[in-house]
Chain A
Amino acid sequence: MRRYSCWLAGLCSAGVFAAGGEDKQVSLTIYNRDLALVEHVRPVNFTAGRQRIEFAGVSARIIPETVSFAASNLELLEQNFDYDLLTPNKLMEKAIGGKVTVIRTNVATGKETSEVAEVLSTAGGTIMRIGNRIEVLRDDSLPARVVFDKVPENLRARPTLSVLVNTDQAAAQDIRLTYLTRGISWDADYVAVFDEARGQLSMQGWITLTNNSGTTFSNARAQLVAGDINVTDSEEMWRQSRQATAQRTAGRESGGQPQLADYYLYPLAQPTTIANNQSKQVSLFDAPEVRASKGYEVSYSGFHSSDAPDSAQVRIRFSNSKAGGLGRALPAGVVRVYARDLRGQPQFVGEDLLGHTSAGSDIALRIGDAFDVTVTPTVLQETRVNKRTTDYQVSYLVRNARSEAVTVTLRQDDLWRVNEVRAESIKGRRTDSDSFAWDVPVPANGETALVITVRQGW
């Protein structure tokens, strides 16, 4: 151990150059979840021989094994990422075996006396040898300052990246440093104001950049990558496996964005400063007139009776096709929906998650449950047909307390393998091998009962 640090110290004495905090250019490629590729271009004056270059201002949450370093006529010997933070405790710990100065103040006279002490241990208390006596630092609670001559080199105020290089000739050149880092991510956020009367959504797309990397990137060129990249991280895989249910059909239109392999790229038009601990929003698009409609949906799996009514789900349906007024792929994000109150002020009415959605897809956002549109299910009759088959006669009483007529799509889901509608008071349709749907019209301040008889068996 001792031998190793001597060897390190020997190397370090070769000369240290701080490659400033001055980037000629910094670019970020930001992925969806907590990952970004950073590239710094920095001018460095190299001297001939072996030297260490320190890079200040790199991300504190750098993934050190991903660092790559590009410069010409340079031999890279070693690359270090020191994240041993400088704290009072570490300072004392690293002073073990070394000398410090203890300055005592006489509380009566204010006079200072200083002595040189050797630090012996810091376990539970600082034990030091002063001359030929051993004492515990400030065991008497009287004032005593401890002054350290220097700070050990590998203790830093902030995590620091350094490289040890060798070059034949002194020269000034731009070096290129790239690495992956955590702590920077982007997400899409959408704000949609729904005008029910006009059947329109006014939709704005925003890109929200969050930076918790511990570092501010000034005047950075940024581009965003949309699409789930493969990340071997169980949490991330779980995240990707969850499905956003808002997309109803897949689109076939190209998204109008440059593509990177299988992902969409969104370059930001102008350089921007992404400050640490900041949330920044950049406009993605503004589509004031997107054709949209509202629908009510209720789905039941199985047959049961209930005293309490079930509220219908409210869905806003639109398409991100060119014809619908949008015509672009939508990166995954949260859509917040607003509607205007009687005074015309937009009020928040719910939100839904949108997955990466290709252009031309049909989307149905679930925004909430209707207060005034409800369904009360009642099983009227169960009839056994044979050992494996039963007929269910069910009444779904759909009530509408709104002052306009509505249509509620009622789905009977998750039926058994053999299933058939034997009777229905309103003509329905098969939507799947194990589900049916009925569109139930309900007058204003009225109610409609849908009575169906479904045979199911296995």
Chain B
Amino acid sequence: MRRLRAIAGLAVLCAATHAQEFEVVSPQPDAVSVTIYRDLFALVTETRTVDLPEGSTTLVFEGVADTLLPQSAVISGAGRGVDESNYDFQRLSPASLLDKSIGKQVLLTRTDKRTGNVRQVPATVVAANKNGVVFRTSEGHEALGCSGIPEMLTFESVPDDLHSKPRLSIRLAAGSAGKRQVRISYIAHGFTWSADYLAHLGAHPGGPADRDTMDLAGWITLQNLTHANFRDAEVQLVAGRLNLLDAEEDRGTSLFGSTSAYSLDEALAEGRAERLEELREELEDEIENGPDVDFYFGCYPLGPQRPDGIDVITAEDIGRFPDDNLAESLQRTSGMELDEVVVTGYRASIALRENLADYQLYRLPVRTDLNARQTKQVAFLQKPGVKIDRFYGVRIASDEDYESYEAYGNTGDDIVPLSVKVAWRNVAADGLGEPLPEGLVRFFDTRTGGLFAGDARIEDSAVGIPVEVTIGRATDLTLDLRGSDDELQPGRFSWLTRNMYMPIHMRIDNAKARPVSVEIRQGKLYDELVGLRVIDANLPPSRKSGDYVWRFTVPANGSQSLSYKVGGKADPDDF
């Protein structure tokens, strides 16, 4: 591929009506840079060297990615004004070739199946559309592929406006002649990346909770779902939530609707993932069947028999399937996924991070080939010994938070499950201090010999942001909300103060042979209560995001009780 560089910028003189109109074709880029976004697209930047003549010139970029969004193209470095740019969606295909041949003369070849005798007749294409082809010979009008005789149309030449490779052409104003480095950037669909984390929770048996650590490793998995190949490309990834408009409604960039319609990051990730699967299928289908499949196979009714279907595949037919390698054939037959997976990450080549506007940009350390339908992985984060907080927690509240346990009105099952929590501060002092792009964190517990301990999704989190995730449900640890002897007391309302309080009694039993750290959070019990207040607690509470919170250690094979009253101001009409 690279040896062709020398002829890049081949100038072709156009013998057109205008004396000073030139066409310069650039067959491929000298250098290419691909910036992949999570939102199913990439920004492709190509540098091409072209030799521009003096007159006004049409510059043709051949071999651009065909999922290109034409209105996103930006051209710089030509040193002249760009009058216009054109992108033809029509590619050279059987369909477009026939369409352009309507009214033109072609050669009809009929082959005798038995003898192999060939007869050729000149014919004129009268109509060609997805319902069939009608042609005219000296005998009269006939429909193609209806007679049961093998028939083929041969064309004299490819029409000038049909090209096999996707091409973007721009018309430049006249200017001084010479070699130029032209840079063209465009958005192309069919790319994505995601971050995954591996967290090995450190073993400090018997040690205090604040000495718990984890080794955090981050991996980027990037995917090229298109059939475009990028040789020796600089690859970047952008993390952050971009405002994107819907591709169909607003001619924007997003294939999964306007991003502002997703208020939660989690919903956005879901919408994106769903569309990703569809897109993968669409692109695969296109690779196998071409962009316009249902063309010129129509015929008039022929009764029960099919016109000329292949009933039996004989040995010699197999070799005619259009696969050029074994992997492709295997895939066709078994539906196996054989996408190449390349793992390039190791400690020495970790992706480098920089700020890009208000996002994070990761740069792959070396140039790499980004091939069609390829998945690549690269490490971007290696942080050993990050200080973490491991504890067990529960939140008691009435709001929609699905992790909350609704205490009021629950009479039967009052053994409340506790969640296994891991929390950290994303600061350098605790061994981290790196922006973390959204992704799935898989936790492994070295205390249990490296067993998988659960996973959790984290959102984009900047330096300085506290992160807290739930990775599972506790065993050998129970919270008994009935307490040791009391039933839940009904709420009491004071007509004087308009305060209403409900007593809460709980006991946490630890059947583990080690002490554990437990966090109890108390939110509002009724939405109707104004203000949240806790009184008469046997342990002093602190506050966390508006909630009251208790943090204590439950000794090995021991228990701890907590009791308090929770409430607020009530409107007497509500009760």
Expressed in whole angstroms, the Cα–Cα distance for A147 and B300 within the complex equals 12
Expressed in whole angstroms, the Cα–Cα distance for A136 and B544 within the complex equals 84
Give the contacts of A379-414 with B (CB-CB under 8 A): 379-384, 387, 390, 399, 401-403
- Range of interface residues on B (Cβ < 8 Å): 35 or more
> Please, which residues of chain B bring their CB within 8 A of the CB of A280?
84-87
Say which residue of A156, A341, A399 sits within 8 Å of B464 (CB atoms).
A399
User: A208-B71, A351-B243 known; A278 and B89 CB under 8 Å?
Assistant: yes
User: A338-B74, A351-B244 known; A370 and B307 CB under 8 Å?
Assistant: no
User: A191-B74, A282-B83 known; A124 and B303 CB under 8 Å?
Assistant: yes
B161 contacts A341, CB within 8 Å?
Answer: no
Expressed in whole angstroms, the Cα–Cα distance for A90 and B355 within the complex equals 63
- Range of interface residues on A (Cβ < 8 Å): 35 or more
Q: How far is the CB of B402 from chain A (nearest CB, A)?
A: 13
- For B139, B236, B300, the residue with the greatest tally of chain A CB atoms inside 10 Å of its CB is B300
> Please, which residues of chain B bring their CB within 8 A of the CB of A139?
303-305
B464 contacts A401, CB within 8 Å?
Answer: yes
Expressed in whole angstroms, the Cα–Cα distance for A342 and B353 within the complex equals 10
Interface: B35 (CB within 8 A) = yes
Give the contacts of B432-448 with A (CB-CB under 8 A): 435
Chain A residue with Cβ nearest B466: A307
Interface: B43 (CB within 8 A) = yes
Expressed in whole angstroms, the Cα–Cα distance for A126 and B242 within the complex equals 59
User: A108-B114, A334-B251, A371-B460 known; A305 and B74 CB under 8 Å?
Assistant: no
> Please, which residues of chain B bring their CB within 8 A of the CB of A23?
none
Expressed in whole angstroms, the Cα–Cα distance for A390 and B569 within the complex equals 11
Main secondary structure of the interface of A (DSSP, over half): strand
User: A85-B129, A189-B71, A308-B459 known; A147 and B142 CB under 8 Å?
Assistant: yes
Number of A-B contacts (CB under 8 A): 308
Interface: A89 (CB within 8 A) = yes
> Please, which residues of chain A bring their CB within 8 A of the CB of B283?
none
B462 contacts A382, CB within 8 Å?
Answer: no
A144 contacts B147, CB within 8 Å?
Answer: yes
Say which residue of B70, B103, B238, B244 sits within 8 Å of A157 (CB atoms).
B103
Give the contacts of B101-131 with A (CB-CB under 8 A): 102-103, 112-115, 117, 126-129, 131
A382 contacts B532, CB within 8 Å?
Answer: yes
> Please, which residues of chain B bring their CB within 8 A of the CB of A110?
112, 114-115, 117
B245 contacts A372, CB within 8 Å?
Answer: no
Expressed in whole angstroms, the Cα–Cα distance for A138 and B146 within the complex equals 9
B243 contacts A87, CB within 8 Å?
Answer: no
Say which residue of B43, B303, B532 sits within 8 Å of A138 (CB atoms).
B303
Interface: A17 (CB within 8 A) = no
Chain B residue with Cβ nearest A282: B84
B530 contacts A126, CB within 8 Å?
Answer: no
User: A89-B131, A347-B43 known; A141 and B241 CB under 8 Å?
Assistant: no
B141 contacts A149, CB within 8 Å?
Answer: yes
Interface: A137 (CB within 8 A) = yes
Q: How far is the CB of B78 from chain A (nearest CB, A)?
A: 13
Expressed in whole angstroms, the Cα–Cα distance for A350 and B359 within the complex equals 10
B143 contacts A345, CB within 8 Å?
Answer: no
> Please, which residues of chain B bring their CB within 8 A of the CB of A85?
127, 129, 131
Expressed in whole angstroms, the Cα–Cα distance for A368 and B240 within the complex equals 8
B435 contacts A334, CB within 8 Å?
Answer: no
A348 contacts B71, CB within 8 Å?
Answer: no
Expressed in whole angstroms, the Cα–Cα distance for A307 and B544 within the complex equals 8
Say which residue of B132, B146, B358, B498 sits within 8 Å of A314 (CB atoms).
B358
> Please, which residues of chain A bring their CB within 8 A of the CB of B535?
none
Give the contacts of A333-349 with B (CB-CB under 8 A): 333-334, 336, 338-339, 341-342, 345-349
Interface: B310 (CB within 8 A) = no
Give the contacts of B350-366 with A (CB-CB under 8 A): 354-361
* Nearest 4 interchain pairs by C-beta: A305-B546, A88-B143, A125-B303, A92-B300
Interface residues of B (CB under 8 A from A): 33, 35, 37, 43, 45, 70-74, 81-90, 102-103, 112-115, 117, 126-129, 131-134, 136, 139-144, 146-149, 161, 185, 187, 236, 238-245, 249-253, 260, 298-307, 354-361, 435, 459-460, 462-465, 468, 498, 530-532, 544-547, 568-569, 571
